[in-house]
Amino acid sequence: MVESLLWPDQDVWPAAPGLCAPSLPPAHRTAHKQIYYSDKYFDEHYGYQHVMSPRELSKQVPKTHLMSEEEWRRLGVQQSLGWVRYMIHEPEPHLLLFRRPLPKEQQK
């Protein structure tokens, strides 16, 4: 089970041109600055990163399906290309779990 975490603010990879929501509503602009990104960690096939959204944004995170890239970018989450939301952590819906396949040469 994943413990509830508070992560320090970290640099975020810029999104690819055209994939960022350029006109977030005013409430989202403030919340966007309160999104926290974990350090990345890896297994033999994937890189992983957890994103913690603020309470006001977490109310907009669907509980019935995994968000598409368009949906999570619209909330203000910024990730480089290739990241996929792969699991819903029901005890902490504000915690968004992402993974990305490692390049073939890095896979074990």
Residue from 2, 91, 89, 88 nearest 41 by CA: 2
Q: Note the maximum CA span of the chain.
A: 45
Instruction: State the Cα–Cα distance between residues 76 and 20, nearest whole angstrom.
Output: 8
Who contacts 68 (Cβ-Cβ below 8 Å, separation ≥6)?
Answer: none
User: What's the confidence (pLDDT) of residue 32?
Assistant: 56
The dihedral built from the CA positions of residue 65, 71, 75 and 79, taken in this order, carries a sign that is: positive
User: What's the confidence (pLDDT) of residue 14?
Assistant: 37
Residue 72, judged by CB atoms within 10 A of its CB (0-12, 13-18, 19+), counts as buried
Can you give the residue ranges of every domain in the chain?
47-103
User: What's the confidence (pLDDT) of residue 30?
Assistant: 45
Kindly state the tokens that stand for 76.
């203000």
The reported pTM is 0.68
Mention the CATH class of domain 47-103: alpha beta
User: What's the confidence (pLDDT) of residue 4?
Assistant: 34
Q: How confident is the prediction along the chain (108 residues), in pLDDT tens digits per residue?
A: 333 333 333 333 333 334 333 344 444 444 556 899 999 999 999 999 999 998 888 889 998 999 999 999 999 999 999 999 999 998 998 899 999 999 988 877
